[in-house]
Amino acid sequence: MTRVVAQGTFDILHPGHLHYLEDAAAMGERLHVIVARSENVTHKEPPVLADRQRVEMVSALDPVDEAQLGHPEDIFVPIEEIDPDVIVLGHDQHHDEEAITDALATRGIDCEVRRASAREPRYDSELLSTGRIIDRIVDRRC
């Protein structure tokens, strides 16, 4: 059985998240999703939704077999526990594939690192970014 890991913040779910997880699920038989803890999200604005709420929402998505909260200090701890065959990065995630591959090798984790495909908006008003969703809410409600 091919185990696949996808990871991310998953704040305010949108079609881009679903596309990423469908793409990741298609790369194996079992999809594990690691949801970043709020305190570990340092490359962008912190999540609006609580950690457990984001895990609960991701768990409810059809392509996902299991979702869990990331480790508070070491992002590779859940990877070691899951022992995946493939780690799938989102098409626009800030992670460096080569650096992740090197870190995995250092830890003795033998798995492939791939990128998910991008999902283009299907109509003019479709938003595929949590930040853009928040901006639209602010524009329309404030």
State the binding site for ATP: 9-10, 14-17, 92
85 close to 50: Cβ distance less than 8 angstroms: no
Single out the residue of 44, 50, 52, 57 nearest to residue 14, CA to CA: 57
Torsional sign, CA 50, 38, 81, 97: positive
Tell me how far apart the alpha carbons of residues 91 and 28 are, in angstroms, rounded to a whole number.
Answer: 18
- Token readout for 29 is 């038989």
State the binding site: 9-10, 14-17, 92
Determine whether 98 is exposed, middle or buried from the number of CB atoms within 10 Å of its CB (0-12, 13-18, 19+). Answer: exposed
